[in-house]
């Protein structure tokens, strides 16, 4: 149970949130790689959509230190359980994406500088960078927009057919109820 062990390490780290802090001053110039294993606790503490569960996301951060700026690449790889948009049954969705970010060090107050796309300015005096919010944001962004059961190996839809049939019936009934013609007929009956 690799996930369990990593989960426990994460819980211990969470107490101080040190796990997500990078003390860049002590790093040599060049590439440094960090990995983070995220679970339900990390995601739900940040109030992620509650219909998503069983978070198992691994984020690999490649941190490239230069003198006046840092280049960060976040690779997200994982899976979650989501309800299907079509039949409502839960299924497992794969998360995969990568995100780039540039952090520029500045001697000015950062309030005076407007962030550009994917470029963050931080004052040189901020020697520790907490990356937990970016990690959360990127994991959420890696969720595909469409949540529909993949097809089975035989090419048939992987959805719960019984649920789909029931939904069909229900929408038929609502259509009948909404139809003014039927309402008129109901009056005639009285």
Using CB under 5 A as the criterion, which residues of the chain lie in contact with Zn ion when the complex forms?
Answer: 84, 86-87, 149, 159
Position closest to Zn ion via CB = 84
Q: Which helix (H) or strand (E) holds 163?
A: helix 161-178
Nearer to Zn ion, 79 or 149 (CB): 149
Q: Which is nearer to Zn ion, 45 or 150 (CB)?
A: 150
- Smallest distance from the beta carbon of 43 to Zn ion, in angstroms? 23
Closest CB 83 distance from Zn ion, rounded Å:
8
List of residues 6+ apart from 39 with CB closer than 8 A: 3, 7, 10, 55, 56
Rounded CA-CA distance 118/97 in Å is 16
119-123: strand order across its sheet:
30-38, 53-65, 69-83, 90-106, 119-123
Nearer to Zn ion, 152 or 179 (CB): 152
Q: Minimum distance between the CB of residue 149 and Zn ion, rounded to whole angstroms?
A: 4
């Amino acid at each position: 149970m690799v996930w369990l062990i990593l989960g426990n390490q994460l819980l211990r780290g969470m107490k101080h949130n040190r796990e997500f802090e990078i003390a860049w001053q002590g790093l040599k110039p060049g590439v440094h790689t960090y990995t983070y294993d995220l679970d339900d606790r990390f995601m739900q503490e940040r109030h992620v959509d509650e219909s998503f569960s069983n978070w198992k996301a691994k984020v690999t951060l490649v941190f490239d230190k230069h003198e006046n700026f840092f280049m960060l690449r976040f690779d997200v790889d994982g899976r979650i359980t989501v309800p299907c948009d079509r039949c409502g049954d839960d299924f497992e969705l794969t998360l995969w994406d990568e995100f780039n970010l540039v952090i520029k060090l500045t001697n000015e107050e950062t309030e005076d500088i407007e962030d550009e796309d994917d470029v963050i300015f931080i004052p040189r005096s901020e020697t520790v960078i907490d990356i937990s919010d970016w990690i959360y944001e990127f994991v959420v962004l890696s969720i595909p927009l469409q949540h529909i059961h993949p097809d089975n190996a035989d090419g048939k839809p992987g959805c719960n057919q019984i649920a789909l049939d029931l939904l069909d019936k229900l929408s038929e009934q609502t259509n009948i109820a909404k139809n003014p013609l039927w309402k008129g007929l109901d009056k005639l009956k009285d």
